[in-house]
Amino acid sequence: MPAIPAPVVTIALLIASNLFMTYAWYGHLKDRSAPLLIVIFTSWGVAFFEYCLMVPANRIGYGVFNAAQLKTIQEVITLSVFALFSTYYLKEPMGWNHLIGFGFIVTGAWFIFHKWS
Cα separation, 11 vs 69, in Å, equals 12
How does pLDDT run across 42-86, given as a tens digit for each residue?
999 999 999 999 999 999 999 999 999 999 999 999 999 999 999
Rounded alpha-carbon distances, angstroms, from residue 85 to 57, 80, 88, 117: 22, 9, 5, 39
CB distance 43 to 24 below 8 Å? yes
Spatial neighbors of 18 by CB under 8 A, at least 6 apart, are 50, 74, 77, 78, 81
- The pLDDT value recorded for residue 96 is 95
User: Looking at residue 43, what is its pLDDT?
Assistant: 96
Residue 1 reports pLDDT greater than 80: no
Number of CB atoms found within 10 A of residue 88's CB: 9
Q: Please name which of 2, 24, 7, 30 lies closest in space to residue 86, comparing C-alpha atoms.
A: 30
pTM for the structure as a whole: 0.89
Band (117; pLDDT cuts 50, 70, 90)? confident
Grade residue 103 by pLDDT with cuts at 50, 70 and 90: very high
